[in-house]
Structure 1
Amino acid sequence: MLALMIAAFGWVSAHAQEVRSGAARNRIDLAIVSRTVFYLPLWLAAEKGYFAEEGIDLRIEVFDNAEKINEALRSGAVQIAMSTPESIMADALKGGSLRVVAGNAGRLPHFIIARPEIRTIADLRGKTIGVLSDQEGTTHLVPEVTRRAGLKPGDYVVKAVGGAPTRWRLLRSGEIDAGLQPFPLSYEAEAAGFSNLGPLSGFVPEWQFTSVNVDMRWAEANRNRLTAALRALRRGLDAIAVEPATAAAVAARELKTSEPLAARAIADTARLGILTPGMEVSLPGLKKVHEALVAAGLVASEPFDAGRVVDASFLRASR
Structure 2
Amino acid sequence: MRISYFVPPALLVSARERGLLAGIALDESLTPNSAAQLAGLLSGELDLVVTAIDNLFEWSRTGAELRLLGQVEATTPLSLIAAPGIRSLAELDGRTIGVDAYDNGFALVARDRLQRAGVRAQWIEVGGVSERFEALADRSIAATLLGPPFEERARAAGFVELFRVQDEFPTFPGQGLVARADVLGTPEFEHLFSALCASGLLPVEREGLNLLIRFRSRLGLLPPNFDLSATLVHEDPSLDITRRGAS
What is aligned with 1:30? 3
Retained in 2: the 8 A contact 1:206–1:288? Answer: yes
**Residue identity opposite 2:38 in structure 1:** N
Q: TM-score, normalised by structure 2?
A: 0.85
**Equivalent of 1:101 in 27, 51, 69:** 69
Deviation at 1:45, TM superposition (A): 2.1
**Equivalent of 1:306 in 228, 231, 243:** 228
What is aligned with 2:21? 51
Retained in 1: the 8 A contact 2:89–2:114? Answer: yes
Deviation at 1:96, TM superposition (A): 4.2
Deviation at 1:89, TM superposition (A): 3.5
Change (3 A) 1:109 1:115: same
CA distance in 1, matches of 2:99, 2:123: 7
Moved more, 117-126 or 228-237: 228-237
**Residue identity opposite 1:145 in structure 2:** R
CA distance in 2, matches of 1:160, 1:95: 23
**Residue identity opposite 2:66 in structure 1:** L
Deviation at 1:170, TM superposition (A): 1.0
Deviation >6 Å, runs of 4+: none
Deviations 1:240-294 (A, max 9, x none): xxxxxxxxxxxxxxxxxxxxxxxxxxxxxxxxxxxxxx51111111222233344
Superposed, 1:44-123 pairs within 5 Å as 44-52=14-22, 55-92=23-60, 96-123=64-91
How many residue pairs end up in the alignment?
Answer: 238
SS at 2:76 equivalent: coil
Deviation at 1:95, TM superposition (A): 5.8
Superposed, 1:289-304 pairs within 5 Å as 289-294=212-217, 295-300=219-224
Deviation at 1:93, TM superposition (A): 7.4
Identity among equivalent positions (%) equals 24
Deviations 1:213-245 (A, max 9, x none): 11112224x1x43232122223444xxxxxxxx
Retained in 1: the 8 A contact 2:31–2:37? Answer: yes
1:231 and 2:194 are equivalent in the alignment: yes
What is aligned with 2:244? none
Structure 1: segments with no counterpart, 5+ residues: 1-27, 238-277
**Residue identity opposite 1:169 in structure 2:** E
Which of the two has greater helix per residue?
1
SS at 2:123 equivalent: strand
Moved more, 158-167 or 306-315: 306-315
Deviations 1:156-198 (A, max 9, x none): 1111111111111111100111111112211111111111112
Superposed, 1:171-186 pairs within 5 Å as 171-186=136-151
Retained in 2: the 8 A contact 1:31–1:78? Answer: yes
Deviations 1:42-69 (A, max 9, x none): 12323443211xx211111111211221
CA distance in 2, matches of 1:314, 1:97: 19
Structure 2: segments with no counterpart, 5+ residues: 240-247
SS at 2:7 equivalent: coil
Change (3 A) 1:213 1:71: same
Moved more, 173-182 or 139-148: 139-148
SS at 2:21 equivalent: helix
What is aligned with 2:245? none
CA distance in 2, matches of 1:49, 1:135: 39
Deviation at 1:94, TM superposition (A): 7.7
Return the index of the structure with the highest Cα Rg: 1
